[in-house]
């Protein structure tokens, strides 16, 4: 894991002038952000359902007011001033979101991470600010987690380990990471400690999500929607079980051992519990730092192929979906290898789910519309005759987008304009039309389809995705 995270001051100073902060405006912005995040770091995560709902509600009001103020001013400004004002508003809104996301952590922070790294889904200035500041989300002060660590490890971490660093070097949505050295050895490790009571925040956020969708209770999709929410809650709560994550990480390490250019760190079981996970240290860069070094196309292509192959090997050999493929979970190592470091959000296909996925793959490959309609209806938890022509057409469009890289012969260009945005627009259209009915496994599938594609798009990699799939798949399918 990398040591190359810049300070908050460096991040703000690095923002482009045309992204909304002129040089003379950066000092107060930096001071305000540092004050806000220092305050967040010293406070425990709010766990109450209504406190979390209120926090998000006031954030929405602040952002809405900021954009309303820009709109009112824009009528009296020329085009350049309007654009600069809009960029400033994007940056200000992103800083507000960062602060609130850092305070709430949990599921809310995961949404912020996803928005920051999905290309062109939110305004560039907003995404750039949120994305560049994401790795500097403030860890909790050591005093807030020390007792938690002591309970989990059976002793004070400063005594259990040699050279335990009390200042966390990375903070994520559910926990933070400290470097350490195993007692009496030279073996460097990282210790991921879960925020106290973070599981309670997940339950609170899912209840709030259900409440927000309560207007659909009279629709025929309500029971299906509840099952999807239950699936999301299980997905998020699974990420708080570090024992399960350690088992999945060990499985992935064994599965990917045959790939010389992909590495999964070994778990240290004697210092791991349900809420603490200790693993060997990998020294590498996250995506932003890697891209800042201006790697050539060959390096980007090679890493893109590593990401694709690792995902598919887990999928086809272990029936395992690596469902959280965002930039924080990949490390680009100095020797050219790729490191995978987080296996909390993984799903093993049941036999029924695997049959559904393979039926969709076969029907798409054969361009068999009747078979495809049957599997799309199944995935929507509907009978075929319940699919309207408009809904069926949008589902076909989505499936075509998903399988487009597979059907392409040779390298697929993930740097091509609009290839990622098309999928985001299709998905948004489902939400807009309230066509949200689906089998729960589709939540996992969407996360991996969009997550891997977003990573490859950020790399602007050219990857022979279809060739890799055909090499990794145990089933010989003729893609037409």
CA distance 464 to 462: 7
245: region left, alpha or beta (phi > 0 left; psi from -120 to 50 alpha): alpha
Q: Which pLDDT does position 14 carry in this prediction? A: 43
Question: Token digits for 222?
Answer: 């309500």
Query: Between 425 and 231, whose confidence is greater?
Result: 425
| Mean pLDDT within 358-375 | 93
Please check the confidence at residue 251 and state whether its pLDDT lies above 80: yes
| Mean pLDDT within 337-341 | 96
* Span of 5-9, 165-169, 414-418 with lowest mean pLDDT: 5-9
Domain ranges of the chain: 8-134, 199-237, 284-480
Q: Which pLDDT does position 447 carry in this prediction? A: 87
Cβ atoms of residues 192 and 294 within 8 Å = no
Q: Alpha carbon 8 to chain centroid distance?
A: 22
Query: Between 122 and 412, whose confidence is greater?
Result: 412
Query: Between 60 and 206, whose confidence is greater?
Result: 206
Q: How confident is the model at residue 33 (pLDDT cuts 50, 70, 90)?
A: low
Query: Between 142 and 101, whose confidence is greater?
Result: 142
Cβ atoms of residues 479 and 320 within 8 Å = no
Please state whether beta strands 330-332 and 338-340 pair in parallel, antiparallel, or not at all (unpaired): antiparallel
Q: How confident is the model at residue 299 (pLDDT cuts 50, 70, 90)?
A: very high
Q: How confident is the model at residue 405 (pLDDT cuts 50, 70, 90)?
A: very high
Please state whether beta strands 338-340 and 262-263 pair in parallel, antiparallel, or not at all (unpaired): parallel
Summary mean pLDDT of the chain: 79
Please check the confidence at residue 475 and state whether its pLDDT lies above 60: yes
Q: Which pLDDT does position 128 carry in this prediction? A: 56
Please check the confidence at residue 376 and state whether its pLDDT lies above 50: yes
pTM of the model as a whole: 0.74
Cβ atoms of residues 261 and 337 within 8 Å = yes
Q: Which pLDDT does position 12 carry in this prediction? A: 46
Per residue in 205-222, pLDDT (tens digit) is 666 555 555 555 556 676
Please write down the HEC assignment for all residues of 142-159.
HHHHHHHHHHHHCCCHHH
Per residue in 94-133, pLDDT (tens digit) is 666 666 655 555 555 555 555 555 555 555 555 555 554 4
How many H-runs (helices) and E-runs (strands) does the chain carry? 19, 11
Q: Which pLDDT does position 90 carry in this prediction? A: 60
Pick from 361, 359, 388: nearest CA to 374: 359
Q: How confident is the model at residue 137 (pLDDT cuts 50, 70, 90)?
A: low
Q: Which pLDDT does position 4 carry in this prediction? A: 44
Q: Which pLDDT does position 76 carry in this prediction? A: 53
| Mean pLDDT within 123-147 | 64
Beta bridge partners of 280: 189
Q: How confident is the model at residue 8 (pLDDT cuts 50, 70, 90)?
A: very low
Cβ atoms of residues 213 and 199 within 8 Å = no
Q: Which pLDDT does position 465 carry in this prediction? A: 96
Pick from 287, 268, 258: nearest CA to 456: 287
Task: Please tell me which of 123-127, 236-240, 394-398 the model is most confident about, judged by mean pLDDT.
Answer: 394-398
> What number of other Cβ atoms are within 10 A of residue 414's Cβ?
26
Query: Between 125 and 3, whose confidence is greater?
Result: 125
Question: Token digits for 351?
Answer: 């036999």
Cβ atoms of residues 347 and 441 within 8 Å = yes
Query: Between 60 and 462, whose confidence is greater?
Result: 462
Task: Please tell me which of 22-36, 54-68, 132-146, 427-441 the model is most confident about, judged by mean pLDDT.
Answer: 427-441
- Give the whole-number percent of the chain exceeding pLDDT 90: 49
| Mean pLDDT within 86-94 | 61
CA distance 379 to 23: 52
């Amino acid at each position: 894991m990398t040591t190359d995270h810049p300070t908050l001051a460096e991040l703000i100073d690095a923002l482009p002038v045309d992204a909304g902060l002129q040089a003379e405006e950066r000092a107060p912005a930096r001071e305000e952000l540092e004050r806000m995040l220092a305050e967040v770091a010293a406070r425990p995560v709010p766990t109450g359902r209504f406190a979390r709902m209120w926090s998000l509600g006031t954030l929405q009001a602040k952002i809405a007011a900021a954009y309303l103020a820009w709109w009112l001013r824009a009528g009296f400004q020329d085009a350049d001033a309007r654009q600069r004002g809009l960029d400033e508003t994007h940056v200000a809104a992103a800083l507000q979101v960062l602060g609130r996301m850092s305070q709430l952590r949990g599921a809310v922070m995961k949404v912020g991470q996803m928005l920051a790294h999905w290309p062109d889904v939110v305004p560039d200035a907003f995404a750039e600010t949120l994305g560049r500041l994401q790795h500097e989300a403030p860890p909790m002060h050591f005093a807030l987690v020390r007792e938690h660590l002591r309970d989990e490890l059976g002793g004070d971490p400063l005594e259990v380990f040699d050279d335990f660093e009390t200042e966390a070097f990375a903070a994520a949505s559910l926990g933070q990471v400290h470097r350490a050295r195993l007692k009496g050895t030279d073996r460097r490790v990282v210790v991921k400690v879960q925020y106290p009571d973070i599981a309670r925040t997940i339950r609170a956020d899912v209840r709030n999500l259900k409440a927000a969708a309560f207007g659909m209770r009279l629709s025929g999709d309500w029971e299906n929607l509840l099952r999807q929410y239950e699936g999301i809650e299980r997905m998020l709560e699974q990420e708080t079980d570090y024992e399960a994550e350690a088992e999945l990480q060990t499985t992935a390490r064994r599965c990917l051992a045959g790939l010389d250019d992909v590495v999964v760190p070994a778990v240290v079981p004697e210092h791991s519990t349900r809420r603490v996970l200790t693993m060997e240290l990998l020294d590498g860069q996250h995506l932003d730092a890697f891209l800042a070094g201006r790697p050539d196309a060959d390096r980007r292509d090679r890493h893109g192929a590593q990401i694709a192959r690792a995902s598919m090997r887990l999928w086809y050999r272990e029936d395992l979906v690596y469902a959280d493929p965002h930039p924080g979970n990949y490390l680009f190592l100095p020797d050219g290898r790729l490191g995978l470091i987080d296996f909390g959000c993984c799903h093993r296909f049941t036999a029924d789910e695997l049959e559904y996925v393979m039926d969709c793959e076969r029907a798409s490959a054969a361009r068999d519309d009747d078979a495809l309609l049957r599997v799309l209806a199944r995935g929507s938890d509907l009978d075929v005759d319940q699919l309207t022509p408009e809904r069926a057409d949008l589902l076909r469009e989505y499936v075509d987008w998903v399988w487009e890289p597979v059907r392409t012969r040779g390298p697929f260009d993930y740097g091509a304009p609009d290839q990622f945005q098309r999928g985001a627009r299709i998905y948004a259209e489902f939400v807009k039309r309230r066509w949200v009915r689906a089998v729960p496994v589709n939540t996992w599938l969407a996360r991996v389809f969009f997550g891997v594609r977003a990573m490859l798009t950020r790399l602007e990699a050219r990857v022979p995705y279809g060739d890799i799939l055909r090499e990794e798949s145990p089933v010989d399918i003729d893609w037409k």
